[in-house]
Amino acid sequence: MSVSSGFKAADDMVKKWITGIIDFFYPPFSKLMPIQTFRYAVCGGTNTLLDIFLYFISYHYILHERYVNLGLVTISPYILSFLMSFSISFPTGYLLNKNIVFPQSTLLGRVQLFRYFLLVVICLGLNYIFIKLFVEQFHLYATVAKILTTIIVVSFSYLTQKNFTFKAERVKANEPVE
């Protein structure tokens, strides 16, 4: 067994394990939503909770709610905390969406990654705008601002991922699949 086939086997095992756990809890929700929507809600919800937890830890315990002076620029603790939590939630979110939520996507992996990256850039901008707005204009606590921002951005993200990033092309009946 080669190293790459060993990684592939482990990867398949992890995908099946995660999907099995999520699908175990699906039956009570089966009349409310399709399995894909349920998987998205669970994966997205888990990743969002991870992101908020990491944001909270970064803001309060790593940065101690203090501005960070980098010489040329000073970064607010709420924005730097967002960037810190995002550096973990981005790859986690991509892998969960690619492998668990939208495995039937017919797009090439590099196309999915590029589209996911574009979506993330847009979502980063939305996060930045809304966090700044909620903290600086509406004077909300940073963690509350993050939660409200997350609700807005996740709604936009789901629709975009389903219809653009991980789109599954319909195959015509007589057309061979490549």
Closest CA to 166 of 44, 25, 23: 44
Closest CA to 83 of 128, 113, 43, 48: 128
Average pLDDT over residues 69-82: 94
Q: For position 133, what pLDDT does the model report?
A: 96
Lowest mean pLDDT among 22-26, 59-63, 108-112: 108-112
Sign of torsion over alpha carbons 146, 151, 156, 162: positive
9: Cβ–Cβ under 8 A, 6 or more apart, which residues? Answer: 1
Q: For position 37, what pLDDT does the model report?
A: 87
Q: For position 159, what pLDDT does the model report?
A: 86
Instruction: Name the phi and psi angles at 65, rounded to 5.
Output: 60, 25
- The per-residue pLDDT for range 136-145, each reduced to its tens digit, is 999 999 999 9
- Measure the CA–CA gap between 52 and 76, rounded to whole angstroms: 17
Q: For position 178, what pLDDT does the model report?
A: 43
Sign of torsion over alpha carbons 89, 109, 41, 138: positive
38, 29 Cβ separation under 8 angstroms = yes
Q: Where are the domains of the chain?
A: 3-165
- Measure the CA–CA gap between 111 and 135, rounded to whole angstroms: 36
Beta bridge partners of 69: 74
What single DSSP character describes residue 14? H
29: Cβ–Cβ under 8 A, 6 or more apart, which residues? Answer: 38
- The per-residue pLDDT for range 144-163, each reduced to its tens digit, is 999 999 889 988 988 899 88
- The per-residue pLDDT for range 77-123, each reduced to its tens digit, is 999 999 999 899 989 999 999 999 999 888 888 899 899 989 989 98
Q: For position 8, what pLDDT does the model report?
A: 82
Q: Taking the CB of residue 90, how many other CB atoms lie within 10 A of it? A: 17
131, 145 Cβ separation under 8 angstroms = yes
- Measure the CA–CA gap between 54 and 49, rounded to whole angstroms: 8
Q: For position 1, what pLDDT does the model report?
A: 58
- The per-residue pLDDT for range 30-60, each reduced to its tens digit, is 999 999 989 999 999 999 899 999 999 999 9
Q: For position 76, what pLDDT does the model report?
A: 96
Residue 131: alpha-carbon gap to chain centroid: 17
